Structure 1
Amino acid sequence: MRPPYSKAFREKMVQRMVGPGAVTATQLAKQIGVTQPTLSKWLREAHRAAMTTKTKAPEPAASSGQPKTAEDKMRLVLAAEQLAPDERGAFLRRQGVHDSELEAWRAAMVQALGARPAQGGGPRPADQRRIRELEKELGRKDRALAETAALLVLAKKAESLWGDGEDGTDDRSEK
């Protein structure tokens, strides 16, 4: 069995997964030879420790200009959500991001995940339109099914009244 990794090593690996130029646990596992589940566990433990001690989450380094990747934007949104309102402004200044940009990124994340924003009510307009179309189609199919069932009942009644023609009782076949 391998000896446990030192706390300093684990912290360094967590920093590589959340810090500047962050890599995924899978990528890091390939680079250093520690299994991905172990790295993910260390990341979860670090997150829990940060939440329980009310310390700030590791911040991405301030970049020159806008964050370039979706991962950077997501990391910034999540880090900002964990901060108290008075700390958030300082954090955004250090990152070179405006509050309006952060809110736009947050809204895009929520929309991409398919969740409704907190202030949103019902389904989105596109979803409402699709629901109406499906309800119309269902109504048409219900009416067609009812008509077909009625025709089948009538056909059976006609057959019972006039016969099926096999016993010679069908008047129509002789004409």
Structure 2
Amino acid sequence: MKQIRYTPEQKLWALEQMKPPLNRTVVELAKETGITAVTLRTWRDAARQEGQCVPAGQPRERWSSTRKFQAVLQTAPLSEEETATYCRTRGILPEQLQQWRQACEQANGGAGPVHEQGRVISADTQQQLRNLERELQRKTEALAEAAALLVLRKKADAIWGKDEDV
């Protein structure tokens, strides 16, 4: 099998396509250029060994929890400008990094019960909710008792007739 030689310009262009902000995948580039995926991966890995930031082509939405946590840890001591540079080289948005940071901060917060819509309920709101539920239960019981008394009165009237002097 004949080995194809690629020019340094082709290699450089392919590496630039794999870097942020384009972040094109190896498979996508292989289909477009005709360069084998194995060759592109080899170039990418060699560039990483040289210290260049060439992501694996994995979209930031599919980053694992571990990678997100590592990104938060790595950027915690950085200034805003350094964080922006970090985000740019990794192909992520600063807003996403901020969301990840907030998620990490709230991970072990023990914020309390969560409402149906996913919001955390405060202690005051919980107490108010319990009071309202008790009041609703009391009123439901009172209504059931009143309905039972009305039914009994109708039955008594049906049996003995209507008593007008009461």
TM range, smaller chain: 0.3 to 0.5
TM-score normalised by length of structure 2: 0.39
Q: Which has the higher contact order (CA 8 A, sep 6+)?
A: 2
TM-score normalised by length of structure 1: 0.37
